[in-house]
Structure 1
Amino acid sequence: MTTLTGTERKNITPGLSVSIVLKKDQRSGKLTDGVVKDILTKAPNHTHGIKVRLQTGEIGRVKVIKTGIV
């Protein structure tokens, strides 16, 4: 499995499996896994990660994009 960083909007689409950092976890860096429901960042890139809403309703910045490609 390869991983991409979540700083570029073009790499993120709804339905994609990602790891995000929630606002409350920014200090610890704890990641939360989920599936993208909505992309909230309008800019083409963001240094801290593109902000997304997961299907669970949680909102955070993408740190890791999970792909099935080895």
Structure 2
Amino acid sequence: MSVPPRSAVRLGLTVDIVQKHHQGSGQLTRGVVAGLLTGSATHPHGIKVRLTTGEVGRVQAVVTTDAGG
């Protein structure tokens, strides 16, 4: 699974991030993007963001809502 590029990550989106202290276990944290911290278009470990909760980590996935039922 590849990480999304910076162009796919926008303020207000819900994303799954991995925090620095969870990199070994791969534990993900879900939250809403409050700020983008990585300036480059891509990063091999994910774009670094700050969530509205203040947590910082690298985006592993953009969460999409399934409208189908």
TM-score, scaled relative to structure 1: 0.87
The higher radius of gyration belongs to 2
Consecutive unaligned residues of structure 2, counting only runs of 5 or more, are: none
Choose between structure 1 and 2: higher strand proportion.
Answer: 1
Q: 1:28 aligns with which of 20, 25, 34?
A: 25
Could you say which structure has the greater relative contact order, defined with CA pairs below 8 angstroms and 6 or more residues apart?
1
Consecutive unaligned residues of structure 1, counting only runs of 5 or more, are: none
1:1-43 CA-to-partner distances (Å, cap 9, x unmatched) read: xxxx543000000000000000000000000000000000000
TM-score, scaled relative to structure 2: 0.89
RMSD: 1.7
Moved over 2 A (4+): none
Aligned positions, number = 67
